[in-house]
Each structure stands twice: as structure tokens, then as C-alpha cells.
């Protein structure tokens, strides 16, 4: 067993444990309304955090203007009622066009 093999195995185990822990502890039991509402709110906050992290990245990394513009366009299109997948595809096209021009 090389250190790399052990590292990959531990990475998989860590990933498995993080995903399994909550369902393993909770099982089929229902959460209280209050706990469920809190976990729901934490999840929605996490979703917003994912957007910010994907757009801004780590400290010191450059913010990609093409990504920002495309995500903004996707949100405007969604606001107008376009299907979510169509919004994403148009965002992809916009980024590809911007990058081909710059």
C-alpha cells in the first residue's frame, strides 16, 4: 500500500462518513419542526454560499467577469420565466462567446 493509495482510500472513507452520519443518526425518525426548519434554512444558505464561492473563489484569485455576466443573465432570464436549463445553456453560450472574443 503506497501513501497515495491510502490517501485515496481515506478520502473515499471521509466522503462516505460525512454523507452517512446524519441519516445514520436520524434514521427514519422525524425531526422536530424546529430542527427541520433550521436544517432547511442552513441548506438554503449553503446554496447561496456555493454561488458566491463558485464566482469569487479563494482569496487572491481573479474574479471572472464573463462568469459574473453570464450568471447575472441567467438570473434575469429566470426572473422572466425561462426554464432553468435554458437559462443555464444561454449562460454557457455567453461565456463561450465572451472568451472567444477576448
Partner 1 sequence: MWMVLTRDTRRGLAVGAGLAAAAFALAVTFGALAVAGGLPPLAAVIMSAVTFSGSAQFAFVTALTGSGGVAAGLGTATLMNLRFLPMATACAPALRGGRVRRALEAQLVVDGSWAAAQDDQGRVQRSVLIPATVVQWPSWIVGTAIGAYAAPDTALSSSLGLDVVFPAFFAVLVLDIVRRRPELRTVVVASGVLTLLLLWVVPVGAALLAGCLPGIRTYLKSS
Residues 17-76 that bind partner 1 (CB under 8 A): 18-28, 30-31, 34-59, 66-67, 70-71, 74-75
Q: What is the DSSP letter of 58?
A: S
| Least Cβ distance, residue 61 to partner 1 (angstroms) | 9
User: How many Å is the maximal CA-CA distance in the chain?
Assistant: 56
93 binds partner 1 (CB under 8 A): yes
Chosen residue from 3, 62, 80, 101 binding partner 1 by CB under 8 A: 3
Rounded Cα distance, 50 and 85, in Å: 18
| Least Cβ distance, residue 17 to partner 1 (angstroms) | 9
Specify burial of residue 64 (Cβ count, 10 A radius: 0-12, 13-18, 19+): middle
Amino acid at each position: 500500500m503506497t501513501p497515495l493509495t491510502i490517501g485515496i482510500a481515506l478520502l473515499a472513507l471521509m466522503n462516505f462518513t460525512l454523507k452517512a452520519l446524519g441519516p445514520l443518526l436520524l434514521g427514519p425518525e422525524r425531526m422536530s419542526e424546529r430542527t427541520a426548519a433550521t436544517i432547511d434554512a442552513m441548506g438554503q444558505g449553503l446554496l447561496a454560499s456555493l454561488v458566491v464561492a463558485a464566482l469569487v473563489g479563494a482569496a487572491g484569485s481573479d474574479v471572472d467577469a464573463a462568469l459574473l455576466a453570464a450568471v447575472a443573465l441567467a438570473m434575469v432570464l429566470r426572473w422572466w420565466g425561462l426554464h432553468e436549463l435554458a437559462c443555464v445553456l444561454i449562460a454557457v453560450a455567453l461565456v463561450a462567446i465572451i472568451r472567444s472574443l477576448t
